[in-house]
């Protein structure tokens, strides 16, 4: 028996005589039936020597090579004139390497060599793992040999599993595998053909426009990885150069108003492989933003003033005739662009969330609800009386809003003590319950936190037959009350009319109603009271003039008024009812 195999060197200058041999690796039935086994003694070159049970070797007269149960002994096999016999596992033949004619002896040991019975594989796009199953021979397997190039080279391993990495995706490889046992005997060699997985590229699934302004377009990208995950996003607008980002969102800035842009997006995965290019069209808005996003709102509004009346704004300085002379910036006229969306972030502002800017007072912007309230907003408790239509015997033709008048809630100014109620605002249930409780609950904490707690002047004047200036002077020196929500002052309503009416006594303000943006056409309360009587307060009549009914007998519509905190900033919008100003 042999103890180990020796390495063989075949010199290319030798004459190689090849004799076919069916050795060690069994052939298929088809191969056996189609080929004749070569004669052992072909041309008298070779003598076959077989090991016997007692370990000796005996010349065999067999005409074919031995099959299973024998193994080629390359240490004993040899030739008389120095020729060398080498078993070639790749072609299943014995090669005679000699410089001339020679007589050779081929020895076969009586030996059961282990056999490879199966080779399985798992694969990815760039790797193949081979696992070898063997049938036990006389000695255990010591090493395995794996080739990925059809036997041109081999990788040696003590494990029956080997992984070839860094392969090309979608490529077919011809793998060969054989093994050696502890004595160096070689098994059969098995061939496995495997095609690596095709590479799956990343994919841009959809690109969504999330926001537009008159000079920006914001998008969000939904992309998925394939073989590898998404690493980088690439953006282009109007076929310009692509810019890269690790974010799936992008805002294009510095665009032209009312213009359609073509946006293209693709991604790369962690392996640098590109996705498809996704293309969408998006249009900037056709509106004029009055300020840059993030500008303080009070500063933004004041910046719209360039001269008295510009953009509907009057700067009430000491030099402005008949003004409040308080350095406030107030909107006046028929319909200035002073709408604000408050209480909603919806793309289209709901009508219930439309408010209008009375003006800027110091660092605070003062708002009034554009239309009247319902019981949903200001409740059916407190000083609630009923709905406007039922209480006033039908719908008013003066009404300028879009609500059903049967939904508009009306309230007493103060009926906390029945007919003995006073016009003291701090005692008013309209103030305490309907405005500063129900209404604040209705708008919610997020939005009520944007409202400043403010000092309200709740004194009054002795008659309704006075100008806005007279009312302002009386209000600003009267009793004060601190709260978030109030109602409009008489002077607010007076100064909302075009400045040509500021010398008109407000009992005669019917003629001003078409030039007064604050006029809404229904009878509504102001926060101002009659100073000469303890139970009268001022209201705006449905025809536009001022009146002073009893606080516990009359029931009128209301519109909440409040001051935004001085930290409020401008986000977007031109101030029209269809494109109101949005705040932070």
CB 318 within 8 A of CB 328: no
Short-list 489, 450, 516, CA closest to 297? 450
Say whether both 320 and 277 belong to one domain: no
Name residue, tokens 């006029």: 519
pLDDT band at 174 (very low <50, low <70, confident <90, very high): very high
500-521 residues labelled b (16+ CB within 10 A) or e (exposed) = ebbebbbeebeebbebbbbbbb
Say whether both 226 and 316 belong to one domain: no
Short-list 509, 499, 519, CA closest to 545? 509
Q: What is the pLDDT of residue 416?
A: 85
Q: Which helix (H) or strand (E) holds 429?
A: helix 429-429
What integer is the mean pLDDT of 298-313? 95
pLDDT band at 482 (very low <50, low <70, confident <90, very high): very high
CB 343 within 8 A of CB 353: yes
Say whether both 497 and 543 belong to one domain: yes
Backbone φ, ψ for residue 564 (5° rounding): -75, 150
Say whether both 101 and 119 belong to one domain: no
Any domain includes 409? yes
Say whether both 147 and 41 belong to one domain: no
* Residue 108 CA, distance from chain mean position: 73
Say whether both 178 and 221 belong to one domain: no
Name the CA dihedral angle for 318, 319, 321, 326, rounded to a multiple of 10 degrees. Answer: -20
CB 93 within 8 A of CB 166: no
Does pLDDT of 5 surpass 80?
Answer: no
Q: Which domain holds residue 455?
A: 297-563
Which 3-state string (H, E, C) describes 83-116? CEEEEECCCCEEEEEECCCCCEEEEEEECCCCEE
pLDDT digits (tens, 9 = 90+) for 350-397: 999 999 999 999 999 999 999 999 999 999 999 999 999 999 888 999
pLDDT band at 287 (very low <50, low <70, confident <90, very high): low
Does pLDDT of 155 surpass 80?
Answer: yes
Any domain includes 573? no
What integer is the mean pLDDT of 419-432? 92
Does pLDDT of 486 surpass 70?
Answer: yes
Any domain includes 569? no
Domain end among 156, 172, 195: 195
Q: Which helix (H) or strand (E) holds 30?
A: helix 29-34
Any domain includes 289? no
Any domain includes 9? no
Say whether both 235 and 383 belong to one domain: no
Distance CA 71, CA 23 (A): 8
> Which residues does 435 contact at the CB level (< 8 Å), separation at least 6?
378, 483, 485, 486, 487, 558, 560
Any domain includes 51? yes
Say whether both 93 and 141 belong to one domain: no
Any domain includes 292? no
Say whether both 100 and 143 belong to one domain: no
Say whether both 189 and 316 belong to one domain: no
CB 275 within 8 A of CB 233: no
Short-list 340, 392, 402, 342, CA closest to 371? 402
pLDDT digits (tens, 9 = 90+) for 509-554: 999 999 999 999 999 999 999 999 999 999 999 999 999 999 999 9
Q: How many separate domains does the chain show?
A: 4
Say whether both 424 and 313 belong to one domain: yes
Q: What is the domain-level CATH number for residue 219?
A: 2.60.40.10
């Amino acid at each position: 028996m042999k103890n180990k195999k020796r390495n063989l060197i075949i010199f290319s200058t030798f004459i190689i005589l090849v004799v076919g041999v069916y050795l060690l690796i069994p052939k298929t039935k088809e191969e056996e039936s189609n080929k004749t086994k070569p004669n052992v003694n072909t041309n008298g070159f070779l003598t076959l020597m077989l090991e016997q049970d007692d370990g000796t070797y005996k010349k065999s007269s067999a005409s074919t090579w031995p099959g299973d149960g024998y193994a080629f002994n390359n240490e004993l096999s040899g030739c008389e004139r120095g020729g060398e016999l080498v078993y070639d596992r790749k072609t299943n033949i014995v090669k005679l390497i000699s410089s001339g004619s020679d007589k050779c002896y081929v020895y076969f040991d009586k030996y059961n060599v282990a056999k490879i019975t199966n080779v399985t594989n798992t694969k990815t796009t760039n790797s193949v793992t081979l696992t070898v199953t063997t049938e036990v021979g006389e000695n255990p397997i010591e090493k395995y040999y794996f080739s990925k190039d059809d036997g041109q080279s081999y990788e040696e391993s003590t494990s029956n599993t080997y992984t070839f990495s860094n392969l090309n995706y979608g490529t077919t490889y011809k793998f060969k595998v054989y093994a050696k046992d502890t004595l160096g005997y070689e098994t059969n060699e098995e061939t496995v053909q495997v095609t690596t997985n095709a590479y799956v590229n990343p994919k841009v699934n959809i690109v969504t426009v999330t926001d537009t302004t008159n000079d920006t377009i914001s998008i969000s990208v939904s992309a998925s990885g394939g073989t590898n995950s998404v690493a980088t996003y690439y953006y282009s607008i109007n076929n310009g150069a692509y810019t890269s980002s690790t974010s799936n969102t992008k805002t294009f800035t510095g665009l032209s108003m009312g213009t359609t842009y073509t946006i293209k997006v693709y991604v790369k995965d962690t392996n640098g492989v590109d996705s498809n290019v996704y293309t969408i069209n998006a249009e900037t808005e056709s509106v004029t933003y009055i300020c840059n996003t993030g500008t303080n709102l009070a500063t933004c509004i004041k910046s719209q003033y360039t001269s008295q009346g510009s953009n509907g704004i009057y700067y009430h300085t000491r030099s402005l005739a008949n003004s409040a002379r308080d350095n406030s910036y107030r909107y006046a006229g028929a319909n200035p662009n002073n709408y604000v969306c408050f209480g909603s972030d919806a793309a289209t502002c709901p009508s219930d969330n439309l408010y209008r800017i009375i003006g800027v007072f110091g660092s605070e912007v003062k708002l009034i609800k554009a239309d009247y309230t319902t019981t949903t907003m200001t409740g059916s408790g407190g000083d609630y009386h009923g709905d406007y239509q039922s209480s006033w015997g039908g719908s008013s033709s003066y009404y300028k809003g879009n609500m059903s008048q049967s939904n508009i809630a009306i309230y007493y100014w103060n009926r906390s003590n029945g007919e003995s109620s006073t016009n003291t605002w701090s005692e008013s249930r309209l103030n305490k319950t309907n405005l500063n409780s129900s209404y604040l609950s209705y708008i919610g904490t997020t939005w009520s936190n944007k409202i400043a707690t403010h000092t309200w002047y709740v004194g009054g004047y002795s008659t309704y037959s006075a100008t806005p200036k007279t009312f302002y002077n009386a209000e600003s020196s009267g009793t004060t009350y601190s709260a978030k929500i109030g109602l409009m002052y008489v002077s607010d309503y007076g100064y909302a009319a075009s400045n040509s009416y500021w010398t008109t006594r407000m009992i005669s303000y019917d003629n001003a109603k078409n030039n007064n943006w604050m006029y809404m056409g229904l009878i509504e309360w102001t926060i101002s009271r009659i100073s000469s009587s303890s139970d009268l307060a001022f209201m705006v009549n449905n025809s536009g003039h001022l009146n002073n009914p009893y606080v516990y007998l009359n029931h009128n519509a209301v519109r909440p008024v409040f001051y935004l905190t001085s930290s409020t900033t401008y986000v977007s919008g031109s101030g029209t009812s269809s494109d109101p100003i949005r705040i932070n």
